[in-house]
Structure 1
Amino acid sequence: MTGRLAEALEELRTAVADVHLPLPIPGAERASAEANAIGDQLSDYVLPRLARLDAPLLVVVGGSTGAGKSTLVNSLVGRQVSTSGVIRPTTRHPVLVHNSEDAHWFTDQRILPGLARTTGEGHEGGALRLVAEPTLPRGLAILDAPDIDSVVDENRALAGQLLAAADMWLFVTSAARYADAVPWDFLNDAAHRQVVVGVVLDRVPPAGMRDIPGHLGQMMAHRGLGRSPLFAVPETTVDAQGILPNAAVAPIRGWLASLVTDEQSRQEVVRATLTGAITDATRRAPAIAAAVDEQVAAITRLRDDANSAYDQAVKAVTVRTADGTLLRGEVLARWHEFVGTGEFMRAVEKRISLLRDRMMAALRGQPPEADQVKVAVESGLEALVIEEGRAAAERAEAAWRGDPAGRFVLDRSSVDLAGTSHDFDDQVARMIREWQRAVLETVSEEGGRRRLAARYLALGVNGIAATLMVLVFTQTGGLTGAEVGIAGGSVALAQSLLEAVFGDENVRRMAKKAKEDLDERIEVLMSSELLRYHQALVVLQVRPQQADEIRDAARNVAAAAAGGPIEGAYVEAAPERASLSPGEPRALSAGESTGADTRYTGEPGEPADAAHHDEEQ
């Protein structure tokens, strides 16, 4: 069972490891943080703990700035092992205190694999400092974490990481700050994730020893921490080493010792926290998958907007190169010069007669007007394609600019997507020349058997190609009004002439081939422009399949955990917190059994408020 569960958890860790939610969609930032948190906890705690259930109990001491964490850790150990900070912010490194015989559990990378280890007194930022203490009970390790509300971002992040890697929290707050929002954010999260927590209420003034712990206990009960023990430590003096009187921390020390000396209690802690962490990971995973889906949906929407802009451009060119649009202006004028009126056919017949009479097979008729038609077609077609390409870029950019996700992509793109590519005009010109060459090749291939045909010789390859282009541009009969009077008859004449040379079936096939070739080239050209928008989305590195991978992995974890990470530990419904203290929430007051001075001081001669503020980082 454990092996199957570990495999499922590894699958989930892999699934959330590279979650990337770059688009500014509501909830994306939180989902990204959730994915990181799940991955970190699986790596730092769940998988290592599942692999070695017999490892020492790791108790992480956390809390706000000045709550007294380091003083509490030093007092529990009986000597100074964690230095209290006096100047804030202080770059803190976590301190892990363990029994000397348990050192092997922490020198390797079993827990917190991302943190370097050190056993020296130096302050290596972020390194985990290991302190061996023979008086600490075997099977117990205490980790002093940075402040959860540190002004240093790295310290806050490290504090959260360490708390997520704990078997149990010993959460320290003070009588003056126990209702602050930041500590309760963590405590609420602990309750939600079924983390085993002990709460230490520090520096309780004599007058508040009854009311303040009672109020905090009520807050804990209302937030799902009703079964967590609450220890009230009164204001009192510390010795020259900064150690609290033994009586002040004896109840806490005794409670921790009882957890590791009693195997059942230790297993309760491990089972509750481990089970809660696994349950929480499977509960949070679907929301992360949904966030990936939202990113994919936004990217799909942007891609569709860009596709639509360029599909419209392709369609516009396709239509306008068949409806007679191009047979206007310069193209119409040059075509009219080429074919003229009925005199054109008489001229052709005259050339045919001359060729027949002189038997000059080498002569090829190349009317100069045919080249002028070709140039005019090239110019008109180029203007049309460039116009539609620019319009497509404007439509795509406008659509993206009107979408928050699109604005994000546009503002971060290394390519200017507001217009066409810098060499678009050159690409258009090259594409049209290549198409015209292809038309000439088609005419040459089709005329192979007709090279000595009189009409073929009279018109020449260029003349026939120009005539075929004109025929392509008027396939849907878009000429109207005066244009029909000017060019309509000559277009019909062109078709008749081509049919006389090649036959009507071949002419239809040649015109269709030329038009399809042009349409395909237009589509390829516009697709290359569209590719810029697709590439701007690809660099976001959002994988559509990742959402399903996360959901599948979470389901596999839930299925594998149905029997429990350890025998009898897992409950399908929200598992009940391990009962670590009997009855309703109560304060275990360390001050009740001591007649010590209740004034809590820092350095000798400092007022209580100064000690409260500067006690530690």
Structure 2
Amino acid sequence: MTESKSAVTPPVGQALNDIVKRVSETRFPLRTDDFADARGAHSALTAELGDYLLPRINSSRTPFLIAVGGSTGAGKSTLVNSLVGRTVSPAGVRRPTTGNPVVIFNPADARFFESEHYLPDLPRSADPESTVPGVVMIADENITAGTAILDCPDIDSISESNRALSRRTLLSADLWLFVTTANRYADAAPWNLLKTAANRSTSVAIVLDRVPPEANREVRHHLSSLLSDAGLANSPIFSVAELELEDGLLPHSAIYPIRSWVAQVGAEGTSLERIRTRTLSGAVAALPARVRDLADYAQSQEQAHAALATSLEQSFRAADARLGEVFSDGRVLHGEVNARWQDFVGTGQLFRGLEPTMARMRDRISAAVTGKHDAATPLHIAILRSAAVSLREQAIAVVDDVNAEWRNTAAGAALIDDQAELRHVADGLEDAVKSAVSAWSDDVNALVRDIGQGKKSKARILSFGVAGVCAVVEYATFWDSEQSAGPEQNSRHGAGVAVNLAETIFGETEAAGIIASVRQRFLDAATGIVRGCRTPFDNALRLSAVPARQAGALRSSGERLEVAL
């Protein structure tokens, strides 16, 4: 009877294959708070599916794998060598002794242990002393055909990769021979793994090594109690006394009970299939809960990515809104611009004793701006400089805002730390701002000259001068009475004068349209500059994109398996 027929029905097999697909598609690109746990759970589940479950549900025959695991220095390799009858796995005082899994199998089973079937991502080696990460393959006629022994790395190794590889090797097996010692059997590390074995119904046998004869009964009794509490009450316990090794191997009398039991399990088809089926069924039954856990991690990724995208969108929407305020409330007209404006219209002389009628005001302004000295160019330069400074400040501000928002999350902070271009505006911002402001100024000049070709405004534009009219329009652009939040009185007054003067030149209706059009052109250019600062953030989100609805797909696949079971 094959494993797939005895332990896995077709609906279960189909559900398992769907889980494999969904797990393989799941990604964890963001370093969220639970990132390490998520990656660990994903790696462990991926490995178990590929190393253990798939070979058994998609193949009619796989060797019966017996994994020998345990803590550092417990005597795993010595036990393996003794079971095989020769030294196949390094043993000694160096810790950790076993860095790579060592697989000992009958030559007849060599095909199963080719890279496409077993631990497929690990390089193969035939050298037990190899320090290159991989799996050591040793064919030995002393191993019963259809059975293989796996010597696992230390479960409590100082090397994190060794610990992960040990767990992976154990979870690829049908049966565990768990080796511990009389003074370390209650350590936490072994029991964390033994509880995993109990949760997935993996068959386990305990080898209690180096047991003083006088303590054997007491230690075995306590260990039995712990096994019962962990859900492993039926696990056999083998005691091995502290003995002198013979050519590096345990004496035949010490190893005989364990060797006989292993041989019996491998030889008796009914016993072997019972253990194999129990472990496989338990591993399958444990999958839905593990898939749900992975789905929770996947959802955390989805939520983190969505939160970053939302905060980015909100920051740039707020930046767009700020542009409308900054370039309409008169703040661009403060400082040097205001001083140049007063010089331009001759504020100190023009308004002293000025009669209150608007007609007289326009006449005096006209006389002032057509005077002998050129006050339009300094005003024009001051306006462009102030607008450029404000635009640059807004670009820097939105980048700072996104940084502040993203740094409130682990995922966002990691992206910023990894990508320097997210921490500040691009080096080309200064040139881009100058180019945009200059192009806008050229548009204003072209617009005024174009309007000056018509009969209606030509004479007035010529009487004021194109440069002067451009300066008036530019000045009026940065103050909108409907959006102003209350700038200083002189800025309001100056902008109002500029608007009145524009009305004198173009007519009230056309002046309003020209100023609104020029303001919108500037805002469009400013928006383009500020939104350009978003590109690095969009690229970061694109490169760290989380597959759509991966959490839901995982949950659905887990539920499908539950129904099939």
TM-score (norm 1): 0.77
| SS of residue in 2 equivalent to 1:172 | strand
Partner residue of 2:533? Answer: 529
Aligned twin of 1:270: 276
Whether contact under 8 Å (1:95, 1:145) holds in the other structure is: yes
| Equivalent residue letter for 2:459 | A
1:60 to partner: Cα distance: 0.8
2:28 alignment partner, one of 8, 11, 19:
19
Amino acid in structure 1 at the alignment position of 2:528:
V
Cα contact 1:365–1:460 (8 A) shared by 2:
no
Task: Kindly indicate whether residue 86 of structure 2 is the aligned counterpart of residue 82 of structure 1.
Answer: no
- Higher mean alpha-carbon deviation, 263-272 vs 221-230, is at 263-272
1:425 aligns with 2:430: yes
2:332 equivalent to 1:326: yes
8 A Cα contact 1:169 1:198, kept in partner: yes
Residue aligning to 1:467 = 472
Q: Given residue 560 of structure 2, which amino acid in structure 1 is its aligned partner? A: A
One-letter code aligned to 1:549:
Q
Match of 1:164 in 2: 171
Equivalence for 2:356: none
Q: Which one-letter code corresponds to 1:556 in the other structure? A: S
Q: Which residue of 1 aligns with 2:152?
A: 145
Alpha carbons of 1:72 and 1:373: their partners in 2 closer, same or farther (altered >3 Å)? Answer: same
Please give the alpha-carbon distance, in whole angstroms, between the structure 1 residues aligned to 2:48 and 2:225: 30
Query: If the length of structure 2 is used for normalisation, what is the TM-score?
Result: 0.83
1:21–1:32 CA contact under 8 A, matched in 2: no
Partners of 2:292 and 2:558 within 8 A in 1: no
Contact 2:82 / 2:250 at 8 angstroms: preserved in 1? yes
Residue in 1 that maps onto 2:554: 553
**Match in the other structure for 1:359:** none
Q: Cα distance 1:532–1:126, how it changes in 2: closer, same or farther (>3 A)?
A: closer
2:520 equivalent to 1:520: no
Contact 1:89 1:151 in 2 (8 A): yes
Deviation at 1:344, TM superposition (A): 7.7
Letter in 2 for 1:145: C
Kindly tell me the number of residue pairs found equivalent between the two proteins. 541
* Contact 1:348-1:459 at 8 Å conserved across structures: no
Aligned amino acid, residue 256 of structure 1: V
Query: Which of 133, 136, 139 is the matching residue for 2:143?
Result: 136
Say if 2:457 is the partner of 1:457. no
Aligned residue among 34, 39, 57 for 2:41: 34
| Root mean square deviation, CA, Å | 3.6
Identical counterparts, % of pairs: 29
Quick one: distance in 1 between partners of 2:177 and 2:478?
A: 82
Give, in whole Å, the separation in 2 of the partners of 1:411 and 1:493.
52
Residue 476 (structure 1) aligns with: 481
Contact 2:179 2:209 in 1 (8 A): yes
Q: Are the aligned partners of 1:451 and 1:457 in contact in 2 as well (CA < 8 Å)?
A: no
SS at match of 2:331: coil
Task: Determine whether 1:544 maps to 2:554.
Answer: no
- Cα distance, 1:216 vs structure 2: 0.7
Deviation string, structure 1 residues 383-409 (Cα, Å, up to 9, x no partner):
322344444455444555565555544
- In the aligned structure 2, how far is the partner of 1:282 from the partner of 1:482? 71
Shift of 1:350: 9.5
Alpha carbons of structure 1 residues 449 and 269: separation in structure 2 relative to 1, 3 Å = farther
AA aligned opposite 2:481: T
Kept in 2, the 8 Å contact 1:378–1:432? The answer is: yes
Structure 2: segments with no counterpart, 5+ residues: 1-9, 351-358
- d(CA) in 1 for partners of 2:125, 2:393: 67
Please tell me the residue identity of whatever aligns with 2:550.
E
Contact 2:394-2:530 within 8 A present in 1 as well: no
* Alignment check: 8 A CA contact 1:12 1:554 kept: no
Q: Deviations over 1:101-122 (max 9, x none)?
A: 2233224531111233344666
CA distance change for structure 1 residues 19 and 150 in 2, over 3 Å: closer, same or farther?
same
Distance 1:240 1:334 in 2: 100
Q: Distance in 2 between matches of 1:499 and 1:338?
A: 19
1:440 aligns with 2:441: no
Question: Is 1:64 the equivalent of 2:71?
Answer: yes
1:255 aligns with 2:261: yes
Q: Secondary structure at the match of 1:142?
A: strand
Q: CA offset at residue 186 of structure 1?
A: 1.3
Q: More displaced, 431-440 or 277-286? A: 277-286
SS at match of 2:170: helix
**Aligned 1:195-234 pairs, distance under 5 A:** 195-234=202-241
State the Cα deviation string for residues 317-349 of structure 1 (Å, max 9, x = none): 321322333344433444445455567854899
Q: Which amino acid aligns with 1:521?
A: A
Match of 2:512 in 1: 508
Q: Pairwise mapping of residues 376-391 of structure 1 onto structure 2 (< 5 A)?
A: 376-391=382-397
Cα deviations by residue, 1:22-65 (Å, 9 ceiling, x for unpaired): 24x1x332222111111122222222222224211111111112
How many angstroms apart in 1 are the aligned matches of 2:274 and 2:492? 97
